[in-house]
Amino acid sequence: MNMQLNELIEFNFTQSIETKQQAQSTMVAPIADAVKLIVAAFQNGNKMLICGNGGSAADAQHFAAEFTGRYEMERTPLPAVALTTDTSALTAIGNDYGFDVVFSKQVEALGQAGDILYAISTSGNSGNVIKAIEVAKARGMHIIAMVGKDGGKIAQMLSGADVNLCVPANRTARIQEVHLLTLHTICDAVDTLMFK
Ligand SMILES: O=C(CO)[C@@H](O)[C@H](O)[C@H](O)[C@H](O)COP(=O)(O)O
Ligand SMILES: [Zn+2]
């Protein structure tokens, strides 16, 4: 039993390491594109809105806080807002209009042309994230989609001006682990390009 348990634990570590190695071979160029888009938006006085469900909601607020607070170095706060944190907005919009529009209504309220919507979904198929992208596009915002598997419906919605950060893996947990690495890498790169 203990052997089986240890093997299961070791398997999770090995699979996570292998997924990160595979992602390194496909995701460097799109991550660089995302960094350039975010730096340009911040330098133009634009902001970034971030959304996702479940573990990706946690990622959204984690990512926003790295910008409004700090990542590693002391620097001026940067404008990033997680659309996953205002329980009054989430419950009122969800209750009155439906869960599918909990993010898109906030994008409609807060998003301006030139802002970025950073949309996180491991399946690429979450309805509320899809609707947020639709509204963001209609408002002239840039889209950075961080997805997994085959990118789902979200990957199909993206144009050449958008960025598709797709983790080449199928297991949600493994995708999320690469998502977190991607977010920290972007923070490191944004700080380096803007402040070092
Ligand atoms: O964290 C996990 C699984 O690791 C879950 O909470 C997961 O995020 C939720 O099932 C989400 O609703 C999945 O949505 P998505 O990534 O497919 O857009
Ligand atoms: Zn999880």
Q: To test the ligand 1 pocket, which listed residue (83, 172, 175, 178) has its Cβ within 8 A of the most ligand atoms?
A: 172
Torsion, Cα of 121, 93, 108, 120 (10° steps) = -10
48 sits in the region (left: phi over 0; alpha: psi -120 to 50; else beta) called beta
Q: Which atom of ligand 1 is nearest to the CA of 57?
A: 8
Q: Which atom of ligand 1 is nearest to the CA of 148?
A: 16
Q: Whose CA is nearest to atom 9 of ligand 1?
A: 54
Helices (H) and strands (E) in the chain, counts: 7, 5
- Ligand number nearest CA of 149 is 1
The mean pLDDT of 22-33, rounded to a whole number, is 98
Gap from CA of 177 to ligand 2 centroid (Å): 9
Torsion, Cα of 103, 105, 109, 112 (10° steps) = 60
The ipTM, to two decimals, is 0.99
Gap from CA of 167 to ligand 1 centroid (Å): 14
**Which domains, from first to last, does the chain contain?**
2-195 (3.40.50.10490)
Taking 90 as the threshold, does the pLDDT of residue 129 lie above it? Answer: yes
pLDDT in tens, 63-92: 999 999 999 999 999 999 999 999 999 999
